[in-house]
Amino acid sequence: MAVIKKGKIGGKIGDYVYRTLDGQDIIQTYTRHPKQSEHSKQAWKKFTSASKTASKIYQQTKTFSLDFARVQTYREIVSLLRASLYSDVKNNHKRDDGWALVRRTDPLALNKEAYLEDYLPQPLELSFSETACTVGIPGFQVRGNRKAPKSANYVEFFLSAFHTHPDMTYELSKYESGRLSIMEGFQEQNVTLPLEWKENIDRNGIVYVCFGLSFFAQANSRTQINESRYNPSAMLGMWYKNA
């Protein structure tokens, strides 16, 4: 309803709103806000939850990837969580221990400018249980590899398992190979990460395992060769368990 005060019209008439701003008479179209359905409310709630959880995971993986992960990675994590943990579709792949794999995270490249397959001859293999993760790592040889930086004399690989819970995010376990001569490379091997859960945090939420490679000019170099194209990293798998 509109009213006339001191010769000025203020309020709504039909699809228009009349008001005065800074001495100017303004007419605007009225924006209608239809009432949301219960389905829309629930969908928005799940999207918000997925975004908040993805933000925690992204911040952790961004640090792991030596700050080479970008916002595209965050968007992918949001999408994957919405299709699994925050989906209405029943997951038929839940294990007996209650954990379920988030599909399409095995692997998920964190740094989009360098990929593990450019450096390693076969994909990494990962097995997960509530007590430990074992990663099968293929051997690395620099001979014939055109992706490795020419200034590198040493290579290092590193692994971490993380737990994102509604209360906090923390590192469950980590492994670093140390500097290895790039000319010698490293052999195919298995690395087991024992999972060290915090006693005051429930064993549910999301667990994810990440792997990365870095190259160094010298054995005592303080930092890696700091270019995104030379630092591949990936999430090898992500699992979730509801409370």
Q: What is the pLDDT of residues 20-54, one digit of tens each?
A: 655 666 666 666 666 767 777 777 788 888 899 99
201 domain-assigned = yes
1 domain-assigned = no
Its domain, for residue 59, covers 38-241
Q: Are 241 and 196 in contact (CB under 8 A)?
A: no
28 domain-assigned = no
| Residue (of 223, 214, 208, 217) closest to 114 by Cα position | 214
185 domain-assigned = yes
Residue 180 confidence (pLDDT) above 70: yes
22 domain-assigned = no
11 domain-assigned = no
Query: What residue type is 190 in one-letter code?
Result: N
Count up the domains in the chain and report the number: 1
Q: Is the peptide bond before 107 cis (omega within 30 degrees of 0)?
A: yes
pTM of the model: 0.81
Which tokens in the block code for residue 88?
A: 């209405």
10 domain-assigned = no
193 domain-assigned = yes
